[in-house]
Chain A
Amino acid sequence: MKVGLFVPCYIDQFYPSVAIATLQLLEKFGCEVVFPLGQTCCGQPMANSGFANLATGCDNNFVKNFVGVDFIVSPSGSCVLHVKEHLKHPDKEKAQFIREHIYELTEFLIDVLQVETLPATFPHKVGLHVSCHGQRGLNLSSMSELVAPEFSKPEKLLSMVAGLELTKPKRVDECCGFGGTFCVFEEAVSVKMGKDRIIEHEANEIEYITGADTSCLMHLEGILKRKGSMVQTIHIAEILNSDLVPFKAERS
């Protein structure tokens, strides 16, 4: 199985440890992982700002890089959703193949690799942040608004990690307020939303906030650092990979 690793631009630049953990995790489960070297960004920042027509360059570059793999996997629900919903290309067949074969990491582990056990250990109290695009867009977990059976792919994976104590905030799936360019154009609301999420997590006396989307975690991390909190953010890939390789995130 040939998996193309898609590392969103801001993860490439600011959170290499998340991408490293993702790569190692996929290799651990026997995937042949390739990292196409010319990749950049999915184009979401432009599209969500109203300029989807400016994302053509990104779309073309994406297709050029990821054509020829069986699956594309990425540690970011939001970027994956964007590609699934909006990737366009003159070669419609190629674009369709990519849209149908791109997976967020936790859904790939659960749905494609059908992971049942993990050799990971993470002896910490962890709060789960449910990211909206992964949840409501990719259906990674049930949603509090709907009358439907409960499930969660990220939680299922975290339950396989030895020593990990998982907690949830009172409002289990409220948005953190990152929202792409919303985080600067609606700065006041964005930060207020993030602060409120953090207060609920802190009430559970956690050491880490985790989630499947680095963008939400980056936003929460910025607020946590500013207030001098002891709580850290960590991407779910880093937890799931925690015992496989003794790699410590460079930023910590």
Chain B
Amino acid sequence: MSDLDQNHINTMTKKAVAHAAAAEAFIGDEERTDWHDETLWFVRHKRDLAVNQLPEWEQLREQASRIKDHTLSNLDKYLMEFEKNALTNGVQVHWAVDAQAHNDIILDLIKKNGVDRVVKSKSMLTEECHLNPFLLKQGVEVVDTDLGERIVQFRDEPPSHIVLPAIHLKKQDVSETFHQHLGTEKGNNDPQYLTEAARQHLRNKFVESQLAITGVNFAVAETGGFVVCTNEGNADMGAHAAAVHIACMGIEKIIPKAEHLGVFLRLLARSATGQPVTTYSSHFHRPRAGQQMHIVIVDNGRTRQLGRPDFRNSLKCIRCAACFNTCPVYRRSGGHSYHTAVAGPIGAILNPNLDMKANADLPFASTLCGSCTNVCPVKIDIHQQLWKWRQVLAEEGFVDPSKKIGMKGMAFVLAHPDLYRFAGKMGRWVMRAVPGLVNNKLNLWFKQRDMPAAPKQSFRDWYLDKNKHSLKK
């Protein structure tokens, strides 16, 4: 194994830094943070312009939400229907209970076909399952063919955004990466020059590869077919050139009917990038003559999430990333601060299901402003679920014990009006008389903000003073 491969595995498996610390490091470069924030806000703005073209936008969201709710309530039925129809179409169907099973199935297919070069278009599921490092360990070269994913793959980084994987990088960074890996001219930051280099590089990979892996955006139960959306056509290039096509999907990707695509495809691209439709929405139904087509249907904790009444509807997600782009915290902390395959607000409600301990910080990486819920094309109540996850995590003991002690103390004081008034009065006196006790390094508020002035009289004091005659009687 090369150093690069080992680095990649290390990157994917290294212990994560909690969100707040990673975010602070990100913000350390304020100019880059501003650029990141503005770039993603631009995408949110494009989304606003696009959705305002459709007077029926809110009805579309409602319809999509109901189709997904219905599907989640009949998931077994639709998955079986999908399998039956896919088999009839000549597609081979595999079921994976978890990430390991998913990776093993793919490795098995690779080995059976005697393949050592694989191309893969964007699939957040394979990121979730850490397929790339797994295959690298087995000596299989996997080339990510989405431009953004190829860039981060060269850099041994995970994607920082599910639609725009390299959005944390500037063209100068890409130029340097391509110079190192593709031999492009050093310091040439011309986007067209760089894209052309990537295009030529990937062309060769498509031609050489014997097996193509794609994701699935929508799997249609009534036809057994599936739809893959890309803007670069890279899923098609891979699937059309290779002798074996493996499509990987989570169980929640199912929709009952082909006509429902008319709802979801309209919502997806507008929510994701403000486009009316993705450049390529490719419908796959059956293998071409001489080709093998496989579908791997993966659970990996999804049925567990389905069993949590408060969180089940997170499975409605169609991975548009509108919640990322609108999230004021995501825009200022970067995708890597979420240390999971799916970052952002939706990641913060999906990932605690996968590993509560490792992802206990994520539901707290939010002000609960609710913008995510409003942009969600399938109406997931994301910010409400963030609040509910906080309760679950505290209940299960995954919140810092010192925070719990502080909260207990606060709760006790606030439950006793006399104590509250005494503490308030003392606190304000200290702030006035000994400000250094409050205005110091230990006070995180004070680090970059002044404390509010501490008035001599609380409102209650003022009220009693004003009404001393009438209240006495």
Contact = CB atoms under 8 A, between A and B. Distances in A.
Contacts of B23: 186, 188-189
A184 interface: yes
A145 B33 contact: no
B457 A136 contact: no
B367 A132 contact: yes
Interface in A136-184: 136-137, 143-148, 171, 173-175, 177-180, 182-184
A23 B462 CA distance: 12
B65 interface: no
Interface stretch (A38-46, A87-95, A120-128): A38-46
B450 interface: yes
Nearest to B428: A13
B444 to A, nearest CB: 4
A19 interface: yes
B409 to A, nearest CB: 10
A40 B453 contact: no
Nearest to A22: B459
Given A41-B414, A186-B364, A54 B420 contact: no
Contact of A41 (B20, B365, B420, B448): B420
Given A13-B424, A54-B407, A57-B412, A226 B369 contact: no
Contacts of A242: none
Interface stretch (A101-109, A110-118, A202-210, A214-222): A214-222
A51 interface: yes
A132 B417 contact: no
Given A35-B463, A57-B411, A61-B417, A184 B370 contact: no
B364 A43 contact: no
Contact of A188 (B27, B48, B453): B27
A15 B452 contact: yes
Interface string B404-424: 100110111011110010001
B450 A226 contact: yes
Nearest to A220: B449
B420 A225 contact: no
Contacts of B455: 14, 16, 250-251
Interface in B428-473: 428, 444-445, 447-455, 457-464
Nearest to A43: B414
Interface string B312-334: 00000000000000101100110
B404 A51 contact: yes
B236 interface: no
A132 to B, nearest CB: 4
A14 B452 contact: yes
A20 interface: yes
A83 B411 CA distance: 16
A49 B367 CA distance: 11
Contact of B333 (A55, A148, A173, A189): A189
Nearest to B467: A35
Contacts of A179: 366-369
Contacts of A23: 463
B51 interface: yes
Interface string B218-245: 0000000000000000000000000000
B453 A147 contact: no
Contacts of A13: 424, 427-428, 454, 458
Nearest to A146: B374
A174 B395 CA distance: 31
Q: How large is the interface on A (under 10, 10 to 19, 20 to 34, 35 or more residues)?
A: 35 or more
Question: Interface majority SS on B: helix, strand, loop or mixed?
Answer: helix
B20 A187 contact: yes
A183 B444 CA distance: 8
Contacts of B286: none
Contacts of A52: 391
Contact of B58 (A16, A147, A191): A147
A50 interface: yes
Nearest to B389: A50
A26 interface: no
Contact of B391 (A14, A50, A132): A50
Contact of B403 (A7, A49, A143, A194): A49
A16 B459 contact: yes
B55 interface: yes
Contacts of B370: 132-133, 136-137
B373 interface: yes
A177 B407 CA distance: 21
Contacts of B415: 40, 56-58, 60-61
A12 B414 CA distance: 13
A40 B333 contact: no
Contacts of A39: 417
B154 interface: no
B424 A57 contact: no
A193 interface: yes
A1 interface: no
Contacts of B373: 136
A183 B375 CA distance: 24
A82 B453 CA distance: 26
Contacts of B462: 16, 20
Contacts of A51: 391, 394, 404, 407-408, 411
A196 interface: yes
A183 B445 CA distance: 7
Contacts of A196: 34, 37, 332
A104 to B, nearest CB: 15
Nearest to A52: B391
Given A144-B48, A189-B332, 14 more contacts: A9-B420, A20-B459, A45-B407, A49-B403, A50-B364, A132-B370, A146-B58, A175-B328, A175-B367, A175-B371, A178-B367, A184-B444, A191-B449, A251-B453
Interface of B: 19-20, 23-24, 27, 30, 33-34, 37, 41, 48, 51-52, 54-55, 57-58, 326, 328-329, 332-333, 364-371, 373-375, 387, 390-391, 393-395, 399, 403-404, 407-408, 410-412, 414-417, 420, 424, 427-428, 444-445, 447-455, 457-464
10 contacts: A7-B460, A9-B420, A39-B417, A45-B407, A45-B410, A46-B407, A49-B364, A57-B415, A175-B328, A189-B365
Which 9 A-B pairs have CB atoms at the shortest separation, nearest pair first? A57-B415, A222-B449, A179-B367, A50-B394, A145-B374, A50-B390, A136-B370, A175-B369, A188-B24
